[in-house]
Amino acid sequence: MPWSNGIRHAWLVARKDLLVEFRSRTAILSALAFVILVLLAFNFSRDPTAVPAFVLAPSILWVTLTFASMLALNRAFQLELENQAFDGLLLAPISRGSIYAGKLLANLIFVATIELIGVPLLALFFNVRVWPVVVPLVAIIALATLGFVAVGTLFSAMTVRTRFAELLLPVLLLPFMIPPLMWAAWATGPLLAGRPLSEIAGWLKMLAAYDIVFVVMASLLFPATVNE
Amino acid sequence: MRMLRTGRWITAIALALLAGVYVRALVYTPVERTQGLAQKIFYLHVPAAIWAEAAMVLVGLASIFYLFLKDPRLDRFAAASAEAGTVFAAIVLTTGPIWGKPIWGTWWSWDARLTFTLFLFLLYVGYLLLRGAVADPASRARFAAVVGICGMCLVPFIHFSVYMFRTLHPMPIVLQPGPPKLPGTMLITWLLSLGVFTLLYVGFVVQRYALSYLNEQLEAAGEGL
């Protein structure tokens, strides 16, 4: 049963990461504080009489989530640098694919937690009505998040072992992140403005295509980033 | 050393031919009716754009083969192609606004095609920065290959964006479904220019390839840059 074993191993890797995070809670708390600060900073830069909140909301949402998830992605493999934990992980009798899937899962849960708190805060601060469109909004966020976290997990496995890791990851990742974020932002806009769902179906398809291509690519390429 | 000299010769010949193409474009090719002289930049802009995208695809293909064969020549070629691609992307990003100012009335518009060309440029920059940030040659080659393959996968998303978005950018008139819509003389000038740009790409890549080969030998001797 290699397939179910793979899933079990991936879950073990993810659970390990989440447990480390749950015990210390430093990364998630700083990410959340960061989200609130970015939302506050946006509030100062807008003129509430000139631009209605729901026009700005998509860009604010996606810029905030971009930077917050960058913090999360840097953390995933930084964790393993201490005490050469990553060598231990590579020596463990589990496939490279399971390690990648585990890291991806942990990152997705981490970013989803940030989004789960960030989106209601956005709705609160900018008076955006998200409740009537919550299902398609969650779909857009989930599709976009899966795509860029898949690429980000792959890249952070490499950048963490280079000089200036914190700077290199955003520079390398943003060109890959911005296309899905752009589609997501263009889908969020009409959605919040109360336009029919058929208008955003094209963007959702693009996001889904991106997810399929890059999740498959990243799981195939991950072994190349860790094998010596 | 012989390779470096060959590369220099190819580049020099290509540059001379480029001047020739421009003489043809300015003197012997008709002026476009609505855009006037500004249209002449098309013979520079479009071949550069084609090679900027094609260079990324070649980086990706070389990277795939590198991961299977572990041949350092493939890695050297990928690095050389990426540098040449950066130059072509820079040409596209420079000539675009020069054309945009008289035709659109603005240097830059946040149009899908422009934005994505900028991404392509930044993709190259990230790729080259990553190469610079890894000291060990073996991991450098593997890491670069991974980013190169991902970059190649991003190119179709970039390329087809032009058909999917509402855009100010002119639609492709040569590489499009159906026969080219360009008048004969313009098409010939454009094809000549594309040929010259291909030669230019080859010249750049051969030079860079020879340089990184020499640098690797220096590194092996303990005196690398």
Interval B134-156: pLDDT, tens: 888 888 999 999 999 999 998 88
Confidence of residue A87 (pLDDT cuts 50, 70, 90): confident
Give the per-residue pLDDT at B177: 56
Dist CA A78 CA A86 (whole Å)? 10
pLDDT reading at A151 higher than 60:
yes
Residue pLDDT, tens place only, A171-191: 999 888 888 888 888 888 888
Count Cβ–Cβ pairs < 8 Å, chain A vs chain B: 76
User: Which chain B positions have a beta carbon within 8 Å of A206's beta carbon?
Assistant: 157, 164
Give the per-residue pLDDT at A165: 79
Confidence of residue A130 (pLDDT cuts 50, 70, 90): confident
Give the per-residue pLDDT at B102: 80
Give the per-residue pLDDT at B181: 64
Structure tokens, A185: 């932002």
User: Which chain A positions have a beta carbon within 8 Å of B157's beta carbon?
Assistant: 179, 206, 209-210
Least confident of A16-20, A75-79, B55-59, B199-203: A75-79
Give the per-residue pLDDT at B171: 61
Question: Which of B150, B163, B167 is the best mutation test for A, with the most CBs of A within 10 A?
Answer: B150
SS3 A127: coil
Give the per-residue pLDDT at A213: 93
Asked if A168's CB is within 8 angstroms of B129's CB, the reply is yes
**pLDDT mean across residues, chain A:** 86
Give the per-residue pLDDT at B176: 59
Give the residue on B whose Cα is nearest the Cα of A163: B133
User: Which chain A positions have a beta carbon within 8 Å of B150's beta carbon?
Assistant: 151, 154, 176, 214, 217-218, 221
Give the per-residue pLDDT at B142: 92
Least confident of A192-196, B12-16, B163-167, B210-214: B163-167
How does B130-142 read in b/e, with b if 16+ C-beta sit within 10 Å?
bbebbeeeebbbb
Give which of B191, B134, B167, B63 is closest to A158, Cα–Cα.
B134
CA dihedral A171, B206, B196, B34 (to 10 degrees): 10
pLDDT, greater one: B177 or B159: B159
Dist CA B57 CA B115 (whole Å)? 19
Torsion-angle region of A84 (φ positive above 0: left; ψ -120 to 50: alpha; else: beta): left
Domain ranges (residues) in chain B: 2-29+37-168+204-220
Q: Are A126 and A60 in contact (CB under 8 A)?
A: yes
Give the per-residue pLDDT at B127: 93
- Classify the complex by whether its ipTM is higher than 0.95, answering yes or no: no
Give the per-residue pLDDT at B31: 73
Q: Are A122 and A60 in contact (CB under 8 A)?
A: yes
Confidence of residue B64 (pLDDT cuts 50, 70, 90): very high
Percent of chain B whose predicted confidence (pLDDT) is above 70: 85
Q: Is B23 an 8 Å CB contact of chain A?
A: no
Instruction: Please tell me the distance in Å from B224's CA to the nearest CA on chain A.
Output: 18
Confidence of residue A212 (pLDDT cuts 50, 70, 90): very high
Nearest-by-Cβ selection for A172 from B142, B147, B149: B147
Nearest-by-Cβ selection for B143 from A163, A178, A225: A225
pLDDT reading at B224 higher than 60:
no
Give the per-residue pLDDT at B191: 86
Nearest-by-Cβ selection for A158 from B67, B115, B143: B143
Give the per-residue pLDDT at B166: 55
* Beta carbons within 10 angstroms of residue A205's beta carbon: 12
pLDDT reading at B77 higher than 80:
yes
pLDDT reading at B76 higher than 90:
yes
Give the per-residue pLDDT at B138: 87
Nearest-by-Cβ selection for A171 from B119, B126, B143: B126
Q: How big is the CA angle at B101 (ends B97 and B106), to the nearest 5 degrees?
A: 90
pLDDT, greater one: A211 or A40: A211
Least confident of A31-40, A183-192, B107-116, B150-159: B107-116
Residue window 114-133, chain B: list those with CB within 8 Å of chain A: 115-116, 119-120, 122-123, 125-127, 129-130, 133
Q: Is B202 an 8 Å CB contact of chain A?
A: no
**pLDDT mean across residues, chain B:** 83
Give the per-residue pLDDT at B65: 94
Give the per-residue pLDDT at A194: 80
Confidence of residue B194 (pLDDT cuts 50, 70, 90): confident
pLDDT, greater one: B162 or A66: A66
